[in-house]
Amino acid sequence: MRMALFWLMQGCQPGDLLVFHFSGHGSQQRNYTGDEVDGFDETLCPLDFETQGMIVDNEINATIVKPLPRVAKLHAIIDACHSGTVLDLPFLCRMDRLVAFCCFSVAQL
């Protein structure tokens, strides 16, 4: 999977549209560098994670987010536990009760 992430970025040009899709297991591990507010790094668990290790959010960001040319777009569809911040983007989403309730109500329809 690491090789596929590098392949995805190979030759990426401004204006390109990239898609990264992962459906599988996600997890967390203790963060020792202090760059995570909650103290945990989010991870993806590829099929061989028991021998090759989990792919940590910092690695994903360094591989497919930071090298992205300014005008290129990356659509990441990640269906895994703890995947909300797995790209390690510099944005913070804050939701109040009203928004959370509205989202919950829409999901119930």
10-residue mean pLDDT series, the chain (109 residues):
95 95 94 86 94 94 93 92 84 58 36
What's residue 98's pLDDT? 54
What's residue 104's pLDDT? 37
State pTM to two decimals. Answer: 0.78
Domains in the chain, please, with CATH? 2-108 (3.40.50.1460)
What's residue 109's pLDDT? 30
Catalytic residue, candidates 12, 21, 25, 82: 25
Q: How many residues does the chain have?
A: 109
Catalytic, 81? Answer yes
Structure tokens at 7: 């392949």
Catalytic residue, candidates 81, 82, 93, 102: 81
Distance between CA atoms of 60 and 41, rounded to whole angstroms? 11
DSSP state letter for 105? H
